[in-house]
Structure 1
Amino acid sequence: MLEIEGLSAHYGPVRALSEVNLKVEEGSITAILGANGAGKTTLLRVISGLVRASGGRVTAFGEDITAMPTDRIARSGVAHVPEGGGVIPELTVEENLRLGALWRPDRADRARALDEVLELFPPLAPRRSKAAGTLSGGERQMLAIGRGLMGRPRMLLLDEPSLGLAPLVAAKIMAVLRDLRADTGLTVLLVEQNARSALSISDYGFVLGLGEVVASDDAATLLADDQLRHAYLGF
């Protein structure tokens, strides 16, 4: 589904990623873990075209997307939900959701997608005509993920979906991601600082340290590695 080879990225003279290699299997949840400044967010931004790679290659669905414009990457089946969600508070819940599918020509399927998202996140249904700015933090995160799903992506990039949320709300969002993958086969690339929570629903994990992959293995093995957890994952 996704293959990254020798990927490097810079912000001016500052190196954010250095020779990163990783693969994401179709229908999997893959966690990208590491401390602040490890390069996790930059990795997602390079995949979705928001930051240009300074070296290496990104291949998605068998196609080289390294230099592809952001809108074409989205249309190819990659949806990126950034840290903080990025919902538009002045628009209603429904308007925010519809933005995620404006580029899709099938109006009937856009309506079906809207119904599916509201069913997936029940707290949003009674608030669909309310301004997004009136939602709680957890509801805003649900809205951001739902907007990403409106375009029926093949791969969902999620950046810190549990950031700032109460533990119970964060657990509910993680459960939705797990069930969504099981029900639809959606591929998820999940960036999280809460490593324990992310690994609990993931099949595989990569650990970044200062822009480099320092460890990779199946989720259960990473959870069981005490030395790695203490050094890089903070628990």
Structure 2
Amino acid sequence: MLKLTSLSAGYGPIRALDDVTFTAEKGEITAVLGANGAGKTTLLRTVSGLHRADSGSVHLDGTPLDKVPAERMPKLGMAHVPEGRGVITELTVDENLRLGGLGRGGRVKDGDLQRVYDLFPVLGDRQAALATTLSGGERQMLVIGRALMARPTMLLLDEPSLGLAPRIVAQIFGLIRDLVRDEGLSVLLVEQNARSALSVADHGVVLNLGRVVADAPAAELAGDDKLRHAYLGF
């Protein structure tokens, strides 16, 4: 379980998060929704240690994360997939995946590699190919696979649908849903595509100008016409 309490963060005089409190339950997908500038990416960066909070706290399964550096997060069970499909283009698919396993510490296990190739068969077919040759959808699969190599209990996903064809988005979201159902993975999903996110999420949190304006089951948010029109654009 990921618990955020009165979390505030900013950049100089700009406050990006303002007293944010919510809980992402274990074994569920929690979608964080809102327009551009709502504070969604800052939220993930603050949770994963890439950006320091001004005040408030973050706990993962009861462990405080406030002073944990980003590079130690995988050992505590957290993996962060930032926006932008940041593969290392000079390395092969296999080498990119092995880097993800190193974040957990110790030797990369072949079983973990095979698990990712089973989840994403297209990566298994191209494991010796340079990452620069992959399509946008394949790169998104690679960065998610790289995060899964650390065997996280909590996966942070920032805009995984950005710039992808609807068919690929449906495939990736379906896989995430399967991992939650079959392996008990917990997911904090930041998405601007609110309709798609709510279709796979268990719970939703809506941010507006850094503040929580709604925190409810996903089905309830999807059915609230007034809230959807005001904050989610559909």
TM-score per shorter chain, which class? over 0.9
Map 1:206-225 onto structure 2 (within 5 A).
206-225=205-224
Structure 2 residue runs of 5 or longer lacking an equivalent are none
Contact 1:80 1:157 in 2 (8 A): yes
Secondary structure of the 2:26 match is coil
Contact 1:32 1:207 in 2 (8 A): yes
Secondary structure of the 1:176 match is helix
User: Aligned AA for 1:231?
Assistant: A
Secondary structure of the 1:8 match is strand
Q: Which moved more, 1:169-178 or 1:65-74?
A: 65-74
Q: Distance in 2 between matches of 1:166 and 1:133?
A: 19
Write out per-residue CA displacement over residues 5-58 of structure 1, whole angstroms, 9 at most, x where no aligned residue: 000001111110000001011100000000000000000000100000001000
Q: Distance in 2 between matches of 1:103 and 1:35?
A: 32
Q: Distance in 1 between matches of 2:104 and 2:227?
A: 43
Map 1:64-83 onto structure 2 (within 5 A).
64-83=64-83
Q: Distance in 2 between matches of 1:93 and 1:201?
A: 28
Secondary structure of the 2:138 match is helix
**Residue 173 of structure 1, CA deviation:** 0.5
Q: What is the number of equivalent residue pairs in this alignment?
A: 234
Secondary structure of the 1:20 match is strand
Cα gap change, 1:97/1:212 in structure 2, threshold over 3 Å: closer, same or farther? same
Contact 1:48 1:74 in 2 (8 A): no
Q: How high is the TM-score relative to the length of structure 2? A: 0.98
Matched, 1:14 2:8: no
Could you tell me which residue of structure 1 aligns to residue 159 of structure 2?
A: 160
Q: Distance in 1 between matches of 2:218 and 2:105?
A: 39
Q: Distance in 2 between matches of 1:171 and 1:230?
A: 23
Matched, 1:234 2:233: yes
Could you tell me which residue of structure 1 aligns to residue 84 of structure 2?
A: 84
Q: Distance in 1 between matches of 2:103 and 2:25?
A: 27
**Residue 85 of structure 1, CA deviation:** 2.1
User: Aligned AA for 1:24?
Assistant: A
Contact 2:74 2:103 in 1 (8 A): no
Matched, 1:116 2:101: no
Contact 1:104 1:110 in 2 (8 A): no
Could you tell me which residue of structure 2 aligns to residue 41 of structure 1?
A: 41
Q: Which moved more, 1:64-73 or 1:169-178?
A: 64-73
Q: Quick one: percent identity of the two aligned structures?
A: 62
User: Aligned AA for 2:2?
Assistant: L
Provide the alpha-carbon RMSD of the alignment: 1.0
Secondary structure of the 1:128 match is coil
Contact 2:17 2:211 in 1 (8 A): yes
Could you tell me which residue of structure 2 aligns to residue 204 of structure 1?
A: 203
**Residue 110 of structure 1, CA deviation:** 2.0
- Which stretches of structure 1, 4 residues or longer, exceed 4 Å deviation after superposition? none
Could you tell me which residue of structure 2 aligns to residue 144 of structure 1?
A: 143
